[in-house]
Amino acid sequence: MNCRFCKAPLEHVFIDLNNSPASNSFLTKEELNEPEVFYPLKVYTCTHCFLVQVDEYKKSDAIFNKEYAYFSSYSKDWLAHSKAYVQKMVERFALNSTSSVIEIASNDGYLLQYFKEKNIPVLGIEPTANTAKVAIDKGIETIIDFFGVRLAKELSSKNKKADLLLGNNVLAHVPDIVDFVGGMKILLKEDGIITMEFPHLVQLINNNQFDTIYHEHFSYLSFYTVKQIFESAGLKLSDVEELPTHGGSLRIYATHAENNQQAITENVKTLLDKELNFGINKIEYYSGFTQKAFNAKIQLLEFLIEQKKQNKKVVAYGAAAKGNTLLNYCGVKNDLIDFVVDANPHKQNKFLPASHIPVVNESEIIKAKPDFVIILPWNLKSEITSQLSYIKEWGGRFVIPIPETEIL
């Protein structure tokens, strides 16, 4: 396999998490007795451009199918983050009723609804039909399609171009990142702004966030490499912010390379220097990650087995993609964790892929009174511990599995 960006041969294995199903391929009760499709989950580091990327990828049209299980609106913290983003963009770029805001991977309209409230024209682009329908029902115009050069040319020919073109947690999800960024170049107005948010590779490595690796994430991105990718498409990065979301993310700001209206801020050099000091452009920085992940695996298994020996009841909260990576890498099944609770009704009454742990609603926690609740989406720790604080009434405790098993 060659690098998806620079085409250099891929030889350095960043981590091999073995085989597993796609992390959002939840099962019905009837499907439990049928074979599951497993795919390799091996990740490479390109020694030329340092793009970290999944090996031969599962076809994106099979992952983002018509019954995609992830709906952005089920996290209160994420909605608050999105609303604050909208307010900031409106103020910073003086967006108004004559502006055009286009979001790539707009999901269920979780973010565009806040622009719409301000009477700013919006357009969503979303490949998953069931999430797009929710947005359309909210009155948000949505195109159900994958984004790239082809769609960008179609929209541009109809004079649909963006003053603000945004995408949150989509840049890592695209199999052809060159085509995707090339499409953004076409769809952006001459003086338009792009913002993209994505998990920061530095946080993944430094904080052992191996569970954020799954088939839907084709790339794991540093600012150093993203800058190269955007520049190759004729776009320049003018600003960057470090965010706490998803365990540590970046929000980049990009414009056409020839646009001199947006000055390049000091943040760009500061973050680039920070990454280079970590060794982002040296292969040694990427070595040793497999052992760190293995240590976390052993810790979690030791904890679960010890609780089983003591007849303690352990459940989990959050049927998140990262949780499925963790459980499947560790080999955890429904004999060690009784059930997982999730607020999303589209996941309830189904079963996690491979582990076959049932997904239920929150009322089951009150019935079961578990001794421990493992928080699988650890990035939402504050929201979840507050929401489930009542488990303390019977002596229940929370467990965080990443970067190492910690009992709160």
CATH code (residue 162): 3.40.50.150
| Weakest-pLDDT range from 56-60, 92-96, 230-234, 314-318 | 56-60
Do residues 69 and 344 lie in contact, with contact meaning Cβ atoms separated by under 8 Å?
A: yes
280 and 304 fall within a common domain: no
Establish if 117 belongs to a structural domain.
yes
Task: Decide if pLDDT at 64 tops 70.
Answer: no
Looking at residue 70, its pLDDT comes to 55
**Domain end position, chosen among 261, 286, 311:** 286
239 and 387 fall within a common domain: no
280 and 368 fall within a common domain: no
Residues 101-107, mean pLDDT to the nearest whole number: 94
Q: What is the pTM assigned to this prediction? A: 0.87
Task: Decide if pLDDT at 92 tops 50.
Answer: yes
Maximum CA pair distance of the chain?
66
Q: Please give the residue that has the higher pLDDT: either 24 or 145.
A: 145
Residues 9-38, mean pLDDT to the nearest whole number: 90
Q: 83: closest CA among 108, 107, 125, 118?
A: 118
| Weakest-pLDDT range from 51-60, 217-226, 247-256, 376-385 | 51-60
Establish if 61 belongs to a structural domain.
no
183 and 308 fall within a common domain: no
For the chain, give the mean pLDDT: 92
Percent of the chain with pLDDT over 90: 80
22 pLDDT band, cuts 50/70/90, is confident
59 pLDDT band, cuts 50/70/90, is low
CATH of the domain at 374: 3.40.50.720
Task: Decide if pLDDT at 65 tops 70.
Answer: no
162 and 250 fall within a common domain: yes
Task: Decide if pLDDT at 66 tops 50.
Answer: no
Establish if 238 belongs to a structural domain.
yes
**Domain end position, chosen among 254, 286, 318:** 286
> In the β-sheet with 219-220, what is the strand arrangement from edge to edge?
12-20, 39-45, 52-54, 219-220
202 and 233 fall within a common domain: yes
| Weakest-pLDDT range from 35-44, 96-105, 250-259 | 35-44
279 and 308 fall within a common domain: no
For 394, the domain range is: 300-407
Secondary structure, 3-state, the chain: CECCCCCCECCEEEEEEEEECCCCCCECHHHHHCCCCCEEEEEEECCCCCCEEECCCCCHHHHCCCCCCCCHHHCHHHHHHHHHHHHHHHHHHCCCCCCCEEEECCCCCCCHHHHHHCCCCEEEECCCHHHHHHHHHCCCCEECCCCCHHHHHHHHHCCCCEEEEEEECCHHHCCCHHHHHHHHHHHEEEEEEEEEEEEEHHHHHHCCCHHHCCCCCCEEECHHHHHHHHHHCCEEEEEEEEECHHHCEEEEEEEECCCCCCCCCHHHHHHHHHHHHHCCCCHHHHCCHHHHHHHHHHHHHHHHHHHHHCCCCEEEECCCHHHHHHHHHHCCCCCCCCCEECCCCCCCCCECCCCCCEEECCHHHHHHCCCEEEECCHHHHHHHHHHCHHHHHHCCEEEECCCCCEEC
| Weakest-pLDDT range from 88-92, 145-149, 172-176 | 172-176
**Domain end position, chosen among 286, 315, 338:** 286
263 and 324 fall within a common domain: no
Domain count, the chain: 2
Round to whole Å and give the CA distance between 200 and 249: 5
174 and 238 fall within a common domain: yes
